[in-house]
Amino acid sequence: MSDRVFGIVGVLLAIGYALAALTIEESFLSDAVGPKAFPLIIAALLGISSAVIALRPDPEPHWPALGRLAEIFGAVVVMILYAEMLPIAGFVLATVFAAAYLAWRLGSKPVEALLTGIGTSVGIYSVFHLLLGLSLARGPWGF
């Protein structure tokens, strides 16, 4: 039963996300794909995967222990803080901290997690900003 509820909530979330994406205004100088394409792709993937979960639920789902649920809640809080800190700290710095925390919670040692955060942040920045020329949130140092 819990899988079906989760799947239905995911489908509703995907519909809401798609409707929100459709309200994005396109500027006169947008690229051929436009700003709506990526959010609509994410909404479609979320909707399809949620529908599969709702239609083919696990017969006996196993819920994680309370400690594991607290870790999941912590990851959600970090992602919310990440979104809030992007305009203040910038993409590179905010991504270092978010990726490092998530890598640490996934089992990396603290130094390895920090190196993973730095590598992830610099790698994504290099591909999306330097190679593809996309605009990312600027931090106090201009990147």
Taking only the tens place, the pLDDT of each residue in 76-134 is 999 999 999 999 999 999 999 999 999 999 999 999 999 999 999 999 999 988 888 88
Residues 119, 91, single domain; the answer is yes
Residues 71, 51, single domain; the answer is no
Residue 22 placed within a domain: yes
Q: Please tell me the predicted confidence (pLDDT) of residue 44.
A: 96
Residues 40, 78, single domain; the answer is no
Residues 37, 93, single domain; the answer is no
Residues 84, 124, single domain; the answer is yes
Residue 9 placed within a domain: yes
| Residue 116 CB contacts under 8 Å (≥ 6 apart), including other chains | 99, 100, 103, 108
Residue 143 placed within a domain: no
Residues 74, 47, single domain; the answer is no
Contacts 24+ apart (CB under 8 A), 15-21: 15/43, 15/47, 17/42, 17/43, 17/46, 18/43, 18/44, 18/47
pLDDT band at 33 (very low <50, low <70, confident <90, very high): low
Q: Please tell me the predicted confidence (pLDDT) of residue 32.
A: 65
Residues 47, 7, single domain; the answer is yes
Residues 123, 89, single domain; the answer is yes
Please give the residue range of the domain that contains residue 22. Answer: 2-55
Residues 80, 49, single domain; the answer is no
pLDDT band at 45 (very low <50, low <70, confident <90, very high): very high
Residue 136 placed within a domain: no
Q: How far apart are CA 48 and CA 27, in angstroms?
A: 30
Q: Please tell me the predicted confidence (pLDDT) of residue 134.
A: 83
